Chain A
Amino acid sequence: MKVLTGVMVLLAVAAMAFAVFQPVQVLPRLRLAPGYALVDQTGSTVTSEDGRGTISLYTFVPLDCGEECDGVVETMQQVGRRIATEVDLGPADFRLVTVVLDADPAVADVRAAADAAGATEDWVWLGASQRQLDNVVGLGFRRSSDPVDFRPSYAIVDGAGLVRGEYRYRTLTGDADKLVRHIGVLGSELRNRSPFNSFVYEAAHAFQCYP
């Protein structure tokens, strides 16, 4: 009986230690990201399926909204640069996705905005109709699809199409620092998870070991 009690206490202590010290951190699996087929800055159709196996950082901006948009663009630029040099994402690729909040934008206007932001092939700018904006941005990412209500916001979507992080409010930590760190956590899970230790990651999800 003493042995049984000892084993149970040991397991309980181990579980508590795991939850408190969080030796493994993960990003939560929040919900499904929306499905879509939208047109990018080159006039090509880009679908949500193109993001399979790729970690995507989404943001949503009007084509012209002054300093606040400049701040978002600058954050995306920083994250793109730092992910390429500082973070090992293992088997996953990484891309930046900016959804333009103006309905039915001309491809030339989207391209001009993308060029001004220094977008490369790993940074797609997507235009959409109002109905698509309502579906994808409004219902899917749960943000206002009205350019007038624009606020800087970001979403991390993993290669399986799940939203793993949402950022709508500024915090003391800079946006770029926070995003790079969280994408790094996701990369770490992708890099290190194997059939032998998958239960450790599932335990981290169960104990909400979030950064």
Chain B
Amino acid sequence: MTLVEPPAAVTEDVVARPRRPWRRRLVTVAAVIVVSALVGWLTLQWLTPHPYSGTVMQAPTAAPSMDGLVWDDGTPVDVTELGGELVLVYFGYTSCPDVCPTTMVSVERALDEIGDDVERVRVLMISIDPARDDAARVGEYVRSFDPAFRGVSGPVDDVERVASTYGIYFARDEPLEGGGYTMSHTSTLLGIDPDGHLRIVWPSVLDPDALAADITELL
């Protein structure tokens, strides 16, 4: 058996060709796939709306008037002066046994998470029990949760009008055996955006983390 030497030209060709050309091609293809996936993912993140835990209204409706109501320092509430900040509005009352304090605590925890943005958020609670709550009393109540929270109250007719336009119903329950009474009321939290539009409504059970994320997005 005779061994045949390869032709000289073929040997030179093999030696002259770059080593493992498929490797460079593979790296290029992989890089293109990775970059495309990354760009696609980032674009999707950018295009995908923030998953609000509250319900956002599309139509930019100006926040309804709060004429007739007063702040806890006695000055009238002018809703048009609330622009530039995100305003969280809650309708509750100071003798509220459960949902009002729970909501205030959730809001306070959410604000703890948003860092310096907290300077651009105002929280106010409007009493739906003006027979027992004047504005100063509401202010004292909400400041026990956070010194920056504000209280609002007013004559019952004005509170009824304002509450109704913010989608809130309230009614006095049957008297309690030991005296006093509780109130039934809608316990949603509402958000007026920095442009003065009533923009979002959160359900009564709030997750502070989700609320904080929503607040940051709205700012």
Is B80 engaged at the interface, CB distance under 8 Å to the other chain? Answer: no
Q: Is B47 an interface residue (CB 8 A)?
A: yes
Chain A residues 133 to 148 lying within 8 A of chain B, measured CB to CB, are 134-136, 139-140
Contacts of B39 in A (CB 8 A): 4, 7-8
> A82 contacts the other chain (Cβ, under 8 Å)?
no
Residue contact B49 to A34, C-beta cutoff 8 Å: no
Tell me if B32 is interfacial: C-beta within 8 Å of chain A: yes
The answer to the question of A116 belonging to the interface, with a C-beta cut-off of 8 Å to chain B, is no
Distance from B202 Cβ to chain A, minimum over Cβ atoms (Å): 11
Q: Which residues of A contact B157 (CB under 8 A)?
A: 131
A140 touches B164 (CB 8 A): yes
Q: Shortest distance in angstroms between B53's beta carbon and chain A's nearest beta carbon?
A: 12
Query: Which B residues lie within 8 Å of A208 (CB)?
Result: 58
A47: which B residues are within 8 A, CB to CB? 169, 171, 184
0/1 interface trace, chain B 46-59, chain A, CB 8 Å (1 if under): 01110100011111
Q: Which of chain B's residues 158-207 have a Cβ closer than 8 Å to chain A?
A: 160-161, 163-171, 184, 186, 188, 190, 198, 201
Closest to B44 in A: A11
Interface size class of A (residues with CB under 8 A): 35 or more
- Interface residues on chain B, number (Cβ under 8 Å): 35
Contact assessment for A7 and B167 in the assembled complex, using a CB-CB cutoff below 8 Å: no
Partner-binding segment picked from A104-112, A182-190, A199-207: A199-207
- Could you tell me which A residues sit within 8 Å of B by CB distance? 3-4, 7-8, 11, 15, 28-37, 45, 47-49, 131, 134-136, 139-140, 160-162, 198-199, 202-203, 205-206, 208
Further contacts, 20 of them, CB under 8 A, given A4-B36, A34-B167, A199-B49: A3-B32, A3-B35, A4-B39, A7-B39, A7-B40, A11-B43, A28-B59, A29-B55, A30-B57, A32-B201, A36-B169, A47-B169, A47-B171, A47-B184, A131-B161, A139-B64, A139-B165, A199-B48, A206-B49, A208-B58
